[in-house]
């Protein structure tokens, strides 16, 4: 059976992959994106290039915080649009509140006014801050975020609880743990480190390399989102759920850099820098609840995922990358 879904942030990394997956599963997608200038528009246009050729995809350029949403005929909303990035949120926190909190409130309100009930909300592992004991479980308070970005995502979760309490909505908040894979945002560590090492340029490593992250490969993330979408179809009205989507392994920063260098067949030149404000020392997803609620279990480990990412990078940038290596 064909269903129609609204995906906000459809031109982004996760949103474009999700839209493709839904369409190839026989569904229709209305994608919304405002091409926020956080990174170049042409990157997002490339993300959309394949989607625009697929029957069943409709794209609307709009700002979730300001413009009416195209909800006609839609059965569920996957809200991935957000102003991303921990460190940039320290420079312009007001913009993050507008894009991540105001926009979320207006979208949920528009959904309930349209008579819809099903929402999947893309949250973040950043909400756990530095005070949550590892591994991070969803029943921890998560009340001490250490960046405006983290605070904005936690606020979005609280809005979901408030709306679902008042109206018969079914909302699931997915706490993404550093999703990576083909088309990952160019500012994120794996993409940035890969590009620098491939070009023979030094990698800026903040701290002593002992900080750890739980990295989630894009196909595992998509499995979790699709399961969450199914959850919204079966849940009781007025229900909110919060679920971690992680890769199931803590990876040290120095190991991550070494894995990328090995996959590229290059040596990594490291520039050491102090820790940056707003960055957490550790992310570590407890996946027990995700397994129970969604049947979620990650399948792609960090070594396989890095190899896949580097293969994609070299396919896209291969000629330029090889030329840089010869010059080095």
Note the pLDDT tens digit of each residue in 173-208: 999 999 999 999 998 999 999 999 999 999 999 989
Within the chain, all domains assigned CATH 3.40.50.720 are found at 4-179+217-245
Tens digits of residue pLDDT in 281-292: 899 999 999 999
The per-residue pLDDT for range 63-102, each reduced to its tens digit, is 999 999 999 999 999 999 999 888 899 999 999 999 999 9
What residues does CATH 3.90.25.10 cover in the chain? 189-211+249-283+300-327
Fold of 4-179+217-245: Rossmann fold (3.40.50)
pLDDT for 89 equals 93
Model pLDDT for residues 99-109, shown as the tens digit of each residue: 999 999 999 99
How many helices (H) does the chain have, and how many strands (E)? Answer: 11, 13
Q: What are phi and psi of 73, to 5 degrees?
A: 80, 0
| Residue 201 pLDDT | 96
Identify whether 149 is a catalytic site residue: yes
CA pair distance 177, 140, nearest whole angstrom: 16
Instruction: Flag whether pLDDT at 298 surpasses 70.
Output: yes
Which CATH topology does 189-211+249-283+300-327 take?
Answer: UDP-galactose 4-epimerase; domain 1 (3.90.25)
Of 96, 128, 149, 180, the catalytic one is 149
Spatial distance between the Cα atoms of 140 and 2, rounded to a whole number of angstroms? 38
pTM metric for this prediction: 0.94
Q: Provide the H-helix boundaries in 53-166.
A: 86-91, 93-97, 103-113, 148-166
Mean pLDDT is lowest, of 16-25, 26-35, 227-236, 271-280, for 271-280
């Amino acid at each position: 059976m064909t269903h129609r879904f609204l995906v906000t942030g459809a031109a982004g990394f996760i949103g474009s992959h999700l839209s493709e997956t839904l369409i190839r599963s026989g569904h229709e997608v209305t994608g919304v994106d405002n091409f926020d200038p956080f990174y170049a528009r042409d990157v997002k246009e490339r993300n959309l290039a394949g989607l625009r050729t697929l029957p069943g995809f409709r794209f609307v350029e709009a700002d979730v915080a300001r413009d009416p949403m195209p909800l006609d005929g839609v059965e569920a909303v996957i809200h991935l649009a957000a102003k991303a990035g921990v460190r940039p949120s320290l420079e312009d926190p007001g913009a993050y509140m507008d894009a991540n909190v105001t926009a979320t409130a207006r979208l949920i309100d528009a959904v309930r006014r349209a008579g819809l009930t099903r929402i999947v909300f893309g949250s973040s592992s950043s909400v756990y801050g530095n005070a949550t004991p590892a591994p991070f479980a969803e029943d921890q308070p998560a009340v001490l975020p250490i960046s405006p970005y983290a605070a904005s995502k936690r606020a979005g979760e609280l809005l979901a609880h408030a709306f679902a309490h008042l109206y018969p909505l079914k909302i699931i908040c997915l706490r993404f743990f550093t999703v990576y894979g083909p088309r990952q945002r160019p500012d994120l560590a794996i993409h940035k480190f890969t590009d620098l090492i491939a070009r023979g340029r030094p990698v800026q490593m903040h701290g002593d390399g002992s900080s750890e992250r739980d990295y989630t490969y894009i196909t595992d993330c998509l499995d979790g989102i699709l399961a969450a979408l199914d959850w919204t179809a079966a849940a009781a009205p007025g229900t909110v759920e919060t679920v971690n989507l992680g890769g199931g392994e803590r990876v040290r920063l120095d190991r991550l850099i070494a894995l990328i260098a090995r996959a590229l067949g290059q040596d990594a030149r490291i520039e050491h820098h102090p820790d940056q404000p707003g960055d957490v020392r550790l992310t570590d997803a407890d996946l027990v609840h995700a397994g129970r609620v969604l049947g979620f279990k990650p399948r792609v480990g960090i070594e396989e995922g890095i190899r896949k990412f580097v293969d994609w990078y070299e396919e896209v940038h291969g000629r330029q990358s090889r030329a840089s290596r010869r010059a080095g």
